[in-house]
Amino acid sequence: MAKPPLIEAFERAGQGHVFAFFEQLTPADQQQLLSDAAEIDLGEIAHLTQTLLAKGAVTGLNLDGLAPAPYELRPEKGGDVKAWGAAKTAGEVALRAGRVAAFTVAGGQGTRLGYDGPKGTFPVTPIKQKTLFQVFAEKIRAAGARYGKPLHWFIMTSNANHAATEAFFIEHAFFGLEKARVHFFRQGRMPAVDLDGKILLETKGTLAMSPDGHGGSLRALDRSGALDLMDKEGIDILSYFQVDNPLVRGIDPAFIGWHVLRGSEMSSKMVAKAYAGEKVGHFCTQNGQAVVIEYSDLPKSYQEEIDPVMGGLRYLAGSIAIHVFDTKFIRRMAKGGAGVALPFHRADKKIPTIDAAGNVVKPDKPNGVKFEMFVFDALPFAKNPVIIETRREDDFSPVKNAEGLDSPVTCRDDQLRQFTRWLKAGGAVVPTDATGLPPFAVEVSPLFGYDEDSFADAWKRLSPKPEIKAGLYLAV
Ligand code: UTP
């Protein structure tokens, strides 16, 4: 039988070893391997090997001309109260007009949490143990009701968790959302390579493939037809957030309004870094463009630099992975061409594989490289980017690790503090410690109130007011 052209192409690219065990596979496994291999852009792998792996490849970033990015201060911190008010109104108008959709990236592997299943199915709320997906679904439902326009919700999955994610939504009847407005699509994959750029096999018949990073969302939105659907529905504003952060105000009128009024193609929220070495990206400018520099790429001297005029950290603006995108911008980024492309980053990892003789190898130190794109790398390509300040406690408490920092415990406590703040703002008396944490669990359903404003409205209407005590659950 003639050799499939794909195998010949791999051989020409120096990747013929991928098919070393081909003859030993069943016809079905052969087909599967060919189909996985067909996903790989061999030119891209050769280019990444040259630029990111070759000896002498320039790794560290060029930091010439780097400066902190300007951002819109919160009103309480001296920001322009009128401009914030106008932004909120503009955002509400966009929401009422149905121009906005929600977008959750949920294709990550969640290795640090070590939870078996899609991360969105992880239970997070203090009393009802609602899952991350349920929290977002209810927030989106409530926002749709508030603005009189049900929202579309796009969810990016990976090959590994797509079926389980869809099944979870079906099992839970889409948490009351209209099924036709919830859209799942898979992100792309990249093969892992060894330190010489050779594609790694996971088994004799499968490649070591992994998701291509949250930056892969831009091309996946295009490839999946999601952008076409948005065009059809009159949606041109996409509100982006991560699956691990239940505190996020995924539908935030002021944020959307800043984006609209400034004619921004990509807008971002920042929080003041909690301490100099906090592991977040830093909003900066370079050559007149906004950029996010990862903490791992920013030398300690920059991270700790003190602003000579204002005092405090000079590089203060931390990225919390909350953005608003113009859909035309996403399409432009996805199509690429002429220097318009997200770069890939290299991550050295321990990758289970097989050796040339077909023996299983379980490495105890990094033996290969995964390639990932980061969504914030789109920022320098965007026209009129806006960065606005938000309070960490209003928007950010991710579940990343099983224990310690950014874990289920810290996230639960931050939710309790948020519910308590809302209650106190409404005049309720709630005992708390110095950090604002109550001594017992209370919970607010997003359907009752999903942000400060919606809670305040619902609380005002509530009569009689319930007794504030352990186990209080406010719902509609
Ligand atoms: P993280 O950087 O926290 O990665 O993703 P992760 O894969 O979820 O977790 P670890 O590092 O293995 O522990 C941040 C967000 O980006 C999404 C994740 O689902 C999460 O919402 N993401 C990440 C993707 O959608 N695709 C990817 O390829 C990577």
Provide DSSP, 27-65: HHHHHHHHHHHHT--HHHHHHHIIIIISTT---S---TT
Rounded to whole angstroms, how far apart are CA atoms 161 and 158?
5
Q: Which two tokens stand for residue 472?
A: 């209080």
Does a structural domain hold residue 91? yes
Residue 141: CB atoms within 10 Å:
22
Does a structural domain hold residue 421? yes
Both 278 and 375 in one domain: the answer is: yes
Both 142 and 9 in one domain: the answer is: no
Which protein residue has the closest C-alpha to ligand 1 atom 10?
110
Rounded to whole angstroms, how far apart are CA atoms 252 and 241?
11
Both 381 and 344 in one domain: the answer is: yes
Residues 21-57: tens digit of each pLDDT:
999 999 999 999 999 999 999 999 999 999 999 877 7
Residue 464: is the preceding peptide bond cis (ω within 30°)? yes
Last residue of a domain, one of 400, 418, 435: 400
Q: Are 92 and 258 in contact (CB under 8 A)?
A: no
Residues 47-94: tens digit of each pLDDT:
999 999 987 776 678 899 999 999 999 999 999 999 999 999 999 999
Q: Which two tokens stand for residue 296?
A: 């791992």
Does a structural domain hold residue 149? yes
Both 48 and 134 in one domain: the answer is: no
The answer to whether the CB of 327 is under 6 A from ligand 1 is no
Residues 150-168: tens digit of each pLDDT:
999 999 999 999 999 999 9
Whether the per-residue pLDDT at 1 is higher than 90: the answer is no
Does a structural domain hold residue 458? yes
Phi, psi of 410 (to 5 degrees): -65, -35
Both 161 and 240 in one domain: the answer is: yes
The answer to whether the CB of 105 is under 6 A from ligand 1 is yes
The answer to whether the CB of 199 is under 6 A from ligand 1 is no
Side chain identity at 110, as an amino acid letter?
Answer: G
SS3 content of the chain, % helix, strand, coil (to 5): 35, 20, 45
Burial class (CB in 10 A: 0-12, 13-18, 19+), 262: middle
Last residue of a domain, one of 345, 370, 400: 400
Does a structural domain hold residue 60? no
Both 175 and 324 in one domain: the answer is: yes
The answer to whether the CB of 211 is under 6 A from ligand 1 is yes
What distance in angstroms lies between residue 106's CA and the mean position of ligand 1's atoms? 7
Q: At what angle do helices 132-147 and 81-96 cross, to 10 degrees?
A: 90
Phi, psi of 193 (to 5 degrees): -125, 160
What's the pTM? 0.96
What distance in angstroms lies between residue 7's CA and the mean position of ligand 1's atoms? 32
Both 146 and 253 in one domain: the answer is: yes
Number of structural domains the chain divides into: 3
Residue 61 has a pLDDT of 80
Both 410 and 391 in one domain: the answer is: no
CATH number at residue 176: 3.90.550.10
The Cα angle at residue 142 between residues 449 and 264, in degrees rounded to 5: 100
Rounded to whole angstroms, how far apart are CA atoms 341 and 371?
14
User: What value does the mean pLDDT of the chain take?
Assistant: 96
Both 315 and 430 in one domain: the answer is: no
Does a structural domain hold residue 59? no
Residue 428: pLDDT band (50, 70, 90) is: very high
Both 259 and 369 in one domain: the answer is: yes
Which protein residue has the closest C-alpha to ligand 1 atom 25?
107
What distance in angstroms lies between residue 345's CA and the mean position of ligand 1's atoms? 14
Last residue of a domain, one of 400, 435, 452: 400
What distance in angstroms lies between residue 108's CA and the mean position of ligand 1's atoms? 3
Both 392 and 426 in one domain: the answer is: no
Owning domain of residue 287: 67-400
Residue 228 has a pLDDT of 98
